[in-house]
Structure 1
Amino acid sequence: MKKIISLAASVAFLLGMSTAANAQETVVDPEGGHNFIGVKGGAQATLTHYNFTDLITPQFGVYFGRYFNQYVGARIDVTGYQTKGGFKADRYGFINQDTPYKFNAATADLDLLMNMTNIINPKRVNRSWNWNLLAGFGVNYSWKHDEFDAIVTNVKNANIYYDGPVSCATKHASFNGRLGTQVEYNFSKNFSIMFEADANYKNDQYNLKFNDQVDWQVQAFIGITYKFGHKKKKVEQPAPEPAPVVREEPKPVVVEKKEEPKPVVKVKETTQKEIFFKINKSEGTEAENKKIAEAAEWLKAHPTATATVKGYADKGTGNAKINARIAKKRADNVAKKLTDVYGIDASRLEVSSYGDTVQPKAANNDNRLVIIVATEQ
């Protein structure tokens, strides 16, 4: 007998543990970190005495890193391609016209990232937009100095006295310091687009000339970022509500003197269907649409019944205006299937939507739904 009691207690304990586990859901922690990798393209120019617009050249880059939490991250960033410099005729007497030259250069930087939007408002619900600041340092490397060397060689071969900057063509590497900002839009959990603007401090030798002036480079990029490895957390889910118990009213006591019994009170029947949708979708999957068909069959079997069709949207994505529109569209599409596909009279339906002002479910993603409640009249 003791063994039977012990076995029953063990089974009950395991069932309880299973129920508790099922009451949890793993979701992305918005305050946690993630990895990222991306590509970008744009333009750069060096700030010198030469005409700014004549020094604009294309730039391309790749970057990867990690946000350690919602506030701070780090990345390795490699950018480069083509760079320009120039000699101004009114500055250097050995040439008679402004003469530009180009060369190739690339910069590798280690950057610190700070999400200022989360620092200012760490508990915000809408995380579609981010404003980031960045600061870093690294090294610049240049090559293919043929045009610069040709200008100097031609001047010397023409027996013109050369009093220009000293060539640093043999010194390919220089220090780089960076300050910048980003504006980022997350169009899904894994992808975002961003605009980035940087100012880069360079050694005097960056533009291939030593003239006792620090070189500055400005850059502007548009990029696309892939995010992965998000930190996750478990959230408690409320236990499902028990199915309503339909109780029959007790039959009236029949008085022996009367042959006819009192009429039995009929219990009104009801049914409920919950149709779930994917993010930003107003059309359900094939499995969810079967629930609409089941609701229609029930209404046909109960010709006096009426139904409410209520649409919702989750508060964790989008904004109030977008969510109001998507919730209404979901409710309208479900009602249209009931009337146009299954022939249910529209007068039997009461259609409404609540946007994200009402969240009937505890889990954020479960609030992308339409609830049909049909009751026999």
Structure 2
Amino acid sequence: MIKRTFFAVLAFAAATTAFSQAKDNVHLEETVEYNDDKYRVETNSFWSNWFISVGAGGNVYFGDHDRQADFGKRIAPALDIAVGKWFIPEVGVRLMYSGLSAKGATQTDVHADGDEMWGDWLKDQKFNFFNIRLDAMFNLSNLIAGYNETRVYNLIPYVGVGAMSVTEEPKETAISGHVGLLNTFRLSSALDLNVDIRGTFTNDDFDGEPGGRSGEGMLSATVGLAYKFKPRGWNRGKTVTRTRTVYNNAELDAMREKLRQMTEENERLEKALAEGNKEAMKNLVKRIGAANLVVFPIGKSTLSNQARANIGILAEVIKQGDSSIIYTITGYADAGTGSKELNERLSKERAEAVYNCFVEEFGVDKAQLKLDYKGGVDNMFYDDPRLSRAVITSGK
């Protein structure tokens, strides 16, 4: 028992010596706060939120003889294959192949398939084509209601430009413009069901038959699936606050004087140990463990690791020392900053933080601890307001 007490006191003295001799002691604290703003997310890397999609359905071509041709005979199969990326929850792009075939009517036999449609002058028309285009997509659901990774339905209008080509004689290549609505239904975190409806605009003679119109077009509708590659989704935005506190020699002058006194007490303690004087040791331990100072950053009641280490050393002395000693933990705040009410609360929270550290982290008996707080006070040490943002633990 005597030896353990002696070594605990020596450890306390050694730690305090190293602490006081440091030329400058810098403590960094980092606080991370995640915002709950549904419109703010973190921007991810370039390789995040990529997807691939495939869809099938039908299209209807709008050409020169739509009034004479049967609408049902103008429906042709359509295929969509795309790869894309969302840059933010509201904006993305995709590169898409769409095509297969288109049907209409012709009076010049261009792309005619041999079946008569209207008297002896109009025939069925069919030709194969493909369209490569780039679409800019805007997620209207995220734009209006904010990002929600578990939302079931998203409405996504888009516009695009591309190149359309007829793959059989007479071949034709033309610039195309697109406007559409992509409707997505969430099946899982990785899979969506897509319903894509769009209009395509191109030049008048794309079907091989000029008709004196300003242009022709196509209405398409497809249903398919989209797979979203990892990493997918966005994290909520966060604010990181870093507090840098510098403890210099001026802040530790009060402890240096105490260290000098402790050194003298250690010498007497060694003598008491050699002589087997338990009563003298008890009194020495009582005096050595009588005070402790923990300094806090402005406006904070969070203990740094350095403060915890200091408290832990004193906790060992308390547990090994006289159990009749009552230690008062007194919290203070700097009267020069904050209101009276704020300083009352802050000094209490600081005292409670030290109390909880003694009890919960280092197992000090609650019966030996007493809480007190003084609110805001003027400069207690060396006319330095930083040393008033403190908790002092004293025993008697």
TM-score category of the 2 structures, normalised to the smaller one: 0.3 to 0.5
| Greater share of helix | 2
Superposition TM-score, scaled by structure 1 size: 0.46
When Rg is computed on C-alpha atoms for both structures, the one with the higher figure is: 2
With structure 2 as the length reference, what TM-score do the two structures score? 0.44
